Amino acid sequence: MSDRRRIGVMGGTFDPVHHGHLVAASEVQSRFNLDEVIFVPTGQPWQKDDKAVSAAEDRYLMTVIATASNPRFSVSRVDIDRTGPTYTVDTLIDLRDAHPDADLFFITGADALEQIVSWHQAEDLFHLAHFIGVTRPGYDLDDHHLPRGAVSLIEVPAMAISSTDCRSRTAAGQPVWYLVPDGVVQYIEKRDLYRAPDA
């Protein structure tokens, strides 16, 4: 067995973080025997720059609140502290430099995995990390177009939750209790997030 640390990287907008993210990260941590999973909230997400995204600091703090009780979970500011749009290749380079003794495992849902082939510098990504695609209700997890051996596809408990749905529920005055951690429900209320209809 290699003595290198095994670090999962869970990138996302986390606007807000929800139990689908947490179950996926927990399942991959256990299945791949990861020492740690680092959640990395995006800066200004390039795939979403046509839509309004909450302030990075709010998304970061909600992610800290949601992960605080798990000793294997942590949150990184690398993407929110870097100026300009977030590219996954930069995320992985920064984390590799910060953790030179670790192998990186990038965790992504089936929907985001489909976009990998269209990501900037996609070939470089597979040298920086092993990719783990997880199932997500409503999306097919199939591996065509993906380099052999670079991606593992795994099934995680189905959580039909999305941040988009949490935002529109809040805007409509419907509850998000039990879709997101209790502290995140309270943070959304305290900061009055998502009250205007989703832009």
Residue ranges in contact with ligand ATP by CB under 6 A: 12-15, 20-21, 24, 108-109, 111-112, 134, 136, 159, 161-164
What span, in angstroms and rounded, lies between the C-alpha atoms of 38 and 95? 9
Least distance between ligand ATP and beta carbon 2 (Å): 26
Q: Of the two residues 25 and 100, which places its CB atom closer to ligand ATP in the complex?
A: 25
| Cβ nearer to ligand ATP, comparing 76 with 163 | 163
Report the nearest approach of ligand ATP to the CB of residue 61 (Å): 15
What type of residue is 178?
Y
Q: Give min distance, CB of 119 to ligand ATP, in A.
A: 12
With a CB cutoff of 8 Å and minimum separation 6, the contacts of 101 are 4, 5
From the list 18, 16, 44, 19, the residue with the least C-alpha distance to 189 is: 16
For the bound state, the minimum distance from the C-beta of residue 165 to ligand ATP, rounded and expressed in Å, comes to 7
Distance of CA 135 to CAs 33, 66, 119, 158, 182, Å? 19, 21, 20, 7, 25
- Closer residue to ligand ATP, CB minimum distance, 9 or 102: 9
C-alpha to C-alpha distance for 89 and 131, rounded to whole angstroms: 12
For residue 13, the minimal CB distance to ligand ATP (Å) is: 4
Nearer to ligand ATP, 24 or 34 (CB): 24
Which residue lies nearer to ligand ATP by CB, 14 or 60? 14
Residue nearest to ligand ATP (CB): 109
Three-state DSSP class for 156?
coil
Query: Could you say which DSSP state residue 197 is in?
Result: P
Residue that has been written with the tokens 């990075």 in this structure: 56
Gyration radius of the chain's alpha carbons: 16
